[in-house]
Structure 1
Amino acid sequence: MAVVIGDAPLTRHQVVQVARFDAPVALSPVALERIDAAREVIDGLAADASPHYGISTGFGALANTSIAPADRTRLQQSLIRSHAASSGEAVEREVVRGLMLLRLQTLATGRTGIRRATAELYAAMLNAGVAPVVGEYGSLGCSGDLAPLSHVALAAMGEGVVELRGELMDASTALERAGLTPVVLAEKEGLALVNGTDGMLAMLCLALADLDKLLDTADLAAAMSVEGLLGTDAPFAAELMALRPHPGQAESAANIAALLAGSPIVASHKGPEDTRVQDAYSLRCAPQVHGTARDTAAHAARVAEIELASAIDNPVVLPDGRVVSNGNFHGAPVAAVLDFLAISIADVASMSERRSDRFLDPARSYGLPPFLAHDPGVDSGLMIAQYTQAGIVSELKRLATPASVDSIPSSAMQEDHVSMGWGAARKLRRAVDGLGRVLAIEVMTAARGIELRDDPAGPRTGAVVEGLRREVPGIGPDRFLARDIEASVAFTVGGGALIAAGLLRHAESWSPAADAAADAADTAADDTDTRT
């Protein structure tokens, strides 16, 4: 079913479905009416003898330069060609589709003055799978994501390079193959296509979808580590969480407690014979750290929802017909939460690495062999897996340095303060990837530790170990460890661990195939309950 644009603000779920899973889009009739009405205003101003910014003048520092009617099409084309100035590796296809979708949503508000045909071309490009190639560098996050959005507009003009069905080609060729006609931009359209925070917002929506899964995965990994390291589940009691009622903390504690319920390993060391008073912080304080990340993500989601309900352009066409310059294109609100998320991700990953390290040290693992090795001394076990975690965590700490505190003036000091939100989003994507890898190594390590205990795992953590073993062999002589790590990443980040543990609750961030797998797992669990 197509995602309808124009009747209501897009949801984060819809952004992910279009950007990542190629859901089709359609402009609503109401949106087309709004577009037509705003265009009438722009056409009227274009015929006015007085200069109007972006319609009959230059841009940025050249805003006081009047442009003759005969030169205005060339003005729009020149704007797009000159601003399509990105460099570096191409950003991911899902990011490009996301920023195209979000720009189209703003066009559908009737606040930009775009023509109907131009908006319809963007929708058609999305549906045909035409993805312009956008370099990683070029956006300062103010005025919006100018360079990335300009590459998209350039492709709509039939210029530049795009990807279509996995093949790179000229935009003109791709449009022809898709049966689409390039647009010839009219007054105001160049500005309307490039003045937005759409790239950084798309990356925020995608990151939040990933974190929906990864923060549950962090709780799962922590529960497995508590179990495998003979920790106690006592600190996760709801009555203790109520004494400090942060919602994220309570949710993580409830997850960990539920995952440990019924564990013979946890039950095996309850009683006076266990002389330990308290577990290490990395075990006992997992809800506090994971919960902080959850609350940070919840705040970022609220910012994303406000942005998704916004119409960002400069100038904008107001309901009373006035065309007014503004500063809503500044990326500060999005940039700040992108940085905030990177900080929490580094913290969650750092705690995960500390839990893994405890498994490998016989002085702290309560009876497990050094490095969980099959034959310590001959075998190194998972020694170097922790090195890999440590290397990633170190990078995540560097990535946690905020981008949004930086500003380099541009456009002859007209744009003298910028958000650097695009840069914040790019490093967040790398941070999300790193967190998934760190958690996957913890799951792999904890699974081996659990298997080395005399008592069996609990029903939910045991199901995770069983699922992992279908992808990664258990303890034995050393083997090619990188292959095991990548298999664990695929199982853990890909959702297999959450499905096995019964923690799949954020289906909107999954592909239809993953949803089907989760449904099958639920059905199997129901059948087991019935037989019992």
Structure 2
Amino acid sequence: MHMLDPQDISLTALRSLWGGAPARLGEGALARVRASAEAVARIVASGETVYGINTGFGLLAQERIPQDRLTELQRNLILSHSCGLGEPSPRRVVRLMILLKLLGLGRGHSGVRIEVVDALQALVDADAMPVIPSQGSVGASGDLAPLAHMTAALMGFGWIELGEERLPAAAALQRMGRTPLELGPKEGLALINGTQFSTALALDALFQAERVFGAALGAGALSVDALKGSVKPFDPRISALRGQPGQEQVAAEIARLLDGSDIVASHHRCGRVQDPYSFRCQPQVMGASLDLLNNAARTLTIEAAAVTDNPIVFEDEDSAISGGNFHAQPVAFAADTITMALCEVASLSERRISVLVDPKMSGLPAFLTDDGGVNSGLMIPQVTAAALVAENRSLAFPASVDSIPTSAGQEDHVSMAPIAARKAASVARNAAGVVAVELITAAQGVDYHAPLTTSPALAGLHGRVRGISPHLEADRYWADEMAALQSAVLDGKMHDAFLLEA
């Protein structure tokens, strides 16, 4: 069991949570939750007017709510905000969202009772995931609709997936031995204000991007060997003179992957000076993408345990201050940069595929088939890769610059973070498909150099590819093995533990 400390969260821990590791808040966090709840109780008892505790919401913030209607206020808040549309969010994203909400509450500035934390924890422990529509949040005032659906499930409204079964939330809670949660003052607002949905979506895209990037490095190195390309561009002295950290790291990784290749040794003094940019400039392009991904990782690691609800409770002085930490602009920018980075990873990969299937560029048989004409070889898989790259480009317009006012102008600038994050996840899947095609293409190209062999590191990658997609002898049905390789990329089975750093 991973004991979560919101004051000390790491990208490694978040990656583990995304992967399904069991977790709960540690005792220090629970103590802070209790102290914050006691502060809210004292504020209510004092009769002071405080936004979200005893007032309406948004443009209705000037409406004072009598104490005997505070429970009704919170209940109506959740029901009115449970208005999402679209396909249900992936279970892994919902689970991560709940854990991020626990981390935020565990900072002790949200004013919820320990019963709320227990209710959220019970969902995680039972693998009972509320059905969260994927559309409806603009990423400001928090991810209101998605988090409202999460909270409504705790109250017995909506739907919960319990194991493989989708049940009405009330029935699922009963099966879990739980009673519907009744919210106290501030608790509804604390639960639906926050960036946890956007951040979970963005982290999901980031960790997929990490796997795509690692696989693309391997595919790119294998393609260099298939082309009998030069290894000189990966000389560390070149990248050191520029000083960009991602470039240096990528150059070192590709050089490592190619080390010991008989194919490289066979053309050591061939006189070839320059390869196409998609081969030669991998450190520069992939390195720049890596720097973007690492920057996004830093932003999202900070956001994962941030206090992003409103108002924020300061228990040492029994005050609650209304601010704007719920605005998800940092998450939106991070998600858009993930998209940009992956667009370039996929674009570069497709160009290498194109070179390898072109006999004028590669010196290999056209479309990497021996019986061209009767066989089309890898002609149309390259077209599929081109289609995915084109689709990625259409998704690359940054959602983060496309604000639209909501709530009668009270919320007059919003982040669109969840839209940016959903696009990033789509681009990650497309990029994985492109890299899958490159892996097939590069493995086929390397086969033409037999009996010369690739490096020990790349031989392992080549073997994993061949375990899914055998050597091409004659045309065959491609779709299943391409999809299987795409899934293998996204599952992390096509790279050697190349991890981002926050």
Partner of 1:364, secondary structure, is helix
In the other structure, the counterpart of 2:441 is 445
Structure 1 Cα separation of the partners of residues 481 and 34 of structure 2: 57
Name which of 326, 346, 351 aligns with 2:323: 326
The structural deviation recorded for 1:201 is 1.2
1:18 aligns with 2:14: no
Moved >6 Å (runs of 4+): none
User: Does residue 338 of the first structure (1) align with residue 335 of the second (2)?
Assistant: yes
Matched, 1:421 2:417: yes
CA distance in 1, matches of 2:295, 2:23: 28
Within 5 Å, give how 1:138-153 maps onto structure 2. 138-153=136-151
Are 1:371 and 2:370 counterparts? no
Q: Which residue of 2 aligns with 1:259?
A: 257
Could you tell me how far 1:327 is from its partner in structure 2?
0.8
Does 2:393 align with 1:400?
no
Amino acid at match of 1:73: T
Would the aligned equivalents of 1:373 and 1:475 in 2 still touch at CA under 8 Å? yes
Task: Quote the offset at 1:35 in angstroms.
Answer: 1.6
The amino acid that maps onto 1:10 is I
1:456-471 maps to which residues of 2 (within 5 A)?
Answer: 456-471=453-468
Paired amino acid for 2:467: R
Q: Which residue of 1 aligns with 2:72?
A: 74
Q: How big is the shift at 1:7?
A: 6.0
Matched to 1:109, the amino acid is R
Instruction: Name 1:204's counterpart in structure 2.
Output: 202
The answer to whether the Cα contact below 8 Å between 1:11 and 1:308 also exists between their aligned partners in 2 is: no
Task: Please give the secondary structure, in 2, of the residue aligned with 1:476.
Answer: coil
Task: Give 1:507 shift.
Answer: 11
CA gap of 1:462–1:5, structure 2 versus 1, over 3 A, is closer
Counterpart of 1:485 in structure 2 is: 482
Following superposition, the deviation at residue 19 of structure 1 comes to: 3.8
Match for residue 4 of structure 1?
3
Counterpart code for 2:275: D
| Equivalenced residues, count | 499
CA distance in 2, matches of 1:154, 1:14: 28
Q: Does 1:504 align with 2:502?
A: no
Amino acid at match of 2:407: S
Aligned to 1:120: 118
Residue 309 (structure 1) shift: 4.0
Structure 2 residue identity aligned to 1:223: A
Q: Distance in 2 between matches of 1:494 and 1:33?
A: 38
Which residue in the other structure is 1:234 paired with? 232
Which residue in 2 is equivalent to 1:528? none
Looking at structure 2, the residues matched to 491 and 265 of structure 1 have their Cα atoms a distance apart, in angstroms, of: 26
1:278 Cα deviation after fit:
0.8
Provide the rounded CA distance (Å) in 2 between the counterparts of 1:345 and 1:323.
Answer: 41
Matches within 5 A, 1:37-48: 37-48=35-46
| C-alpha contact 1:16 1:98 (8 A) present in aligned 2 | no
Distance 1:474 1:363, change over 3 A: same
Q: 3-state DSSP class of the match of 1:277?
A: coil
Deviates more, 1:488-497 or 1:210-219: 488-497
Letter matched to residue 277 of structure 2: Y
Give distance in 1, aligned partners of 2:55 and 2:460.
65
Q: Which of 275, 278, 281 in structure 1 is aligned with 2:274?
A: 278
**Residue of structure 2 in register with 1:514 after alignment:** none
Q: Kindly state the Cα deviation for residue 297 of structure 1 after the two structures are TM-superposed.
A: 1.2
Aligned counterpart in structure 2 of residue 348 of structure 1, from 337, 345, 349: 345
Matched residue SS, 1:418: coil
CA contact (8 A) 1:221 1:446 kept: yes
Counterpart CA distance in 1 for 2:494 and 2:305 is 34
Contact 1:440 1:493 in 2 (8 A): no
SS in 2 for 1:163: strand
For 1:8, give the aligned amino acid.
Answer: Q
Residue equivalent to 1:55: 53
1:313 and 1:494 mapped to 2: Cα distance? 33
Q: Distance in 1 between matches of 2:490 and 2:30?
A: 40
Compute the displacement of 1:349 (Å): 0.5
Amino acid at match of 1:478: D
**8 Å contact kept, 1:139–1:422:** yes
Equivalent position SS for 1:136: strand
Q: Which amino acid aligns with 2:111?
A: G
Cα distance in 1 for partners of 2:7, 2:245 equals 29
Structure 1 residues 493 and 68 mapped into 2: Cα distance closer, same or farther (>3 Å)? Answer: closer
CA contact (8 A) 2:211 2:491 kept: no
Classify the secondary structure of the residue corresponding to 2:449: coil
Q: Deviation digits for residues 266-302 of structure 1, max 9, x if unmatched?
A: 222222xx35331110000011111111111111121
Match status 1:308 vs 2:304? yes
* Residues in 2 aligned to 1:234 and 1:328: alpha-carbon distance in whole angstroms: 49
TM-score computed with the length of structure 1 as normaliser:
0.91
Question: 1:431: Cα distance to partner?
Answer: 1.1
Cα-to-partner distance string for 1:217-237 (whole Å, 9 max, x where unaligned): 211111111110111001100
Within 2, Cα distance between the matches of 1:147 and 1:9?
Answer: 29
Measure the CA separation in 2 of the matches of 1:445 and 1:104. 45
> What code does the residue aligned with 2:33 have?
I
Paired with 2:56 and 2:168, the residues of 1 have a C-alpha distance of 29
Q: Secondary structure at the match of 2:46?
A: coil
Unaligned residue ranges in structure 2 (runs of 5+):
none
**Given residue 492 of structure 2, which amino acid in structure 1 is its aligned partner?**
G
In terms of mean alpha carbon deviation, does 177-186 or 227-236 score higher? Answer: 177-186
Give the AA of the match of 1:444: I
How far, CA to CA, are the matches of 1:32 and 1:464 in structure 2? 46
SS in 1 for 2:401: coil
C-alpha displacement at 1:112, in angstroms? 0.6
Change (3 A) 1:493 1:327: closer
Q: Distance in 2 between matches of 1:51 and 1:134?
A: 33
Distance 1:485 1:374, change over 3 A: farther
The answer on whether the counterparts of 2:155 and 2:180 sit within 8 Å (CA) in structure 1 is yes
SS at match of 1:412: helix
Q: Which amino acid counterpart does residue 357 of structure 1 have in structure 2?
A: S
- 1:47 match: secondary structure: helix
Report which structure shows greater RCO (CA 8 Å, sep ≥6): 2
Distance 1:496 1:137, change over 3 A: closer
Distance (Å, rounded) in 2 between the aligned partners of 1:505 and 1:175: 41
Cα-to-partner distance string for 1:46-87 (whole Å, 9 max, x where unaligned): 233342211111000100011112221111011001111110
Does residue 158 (structure 1) correspond to residue 156 (structure 2)? The answer is: yes
Work out the CA distance in 2 between the residues paired with 1:458 and 1:103: 46
For 1:322 and 1:462, how far apart are their aligned partners in 2? 63
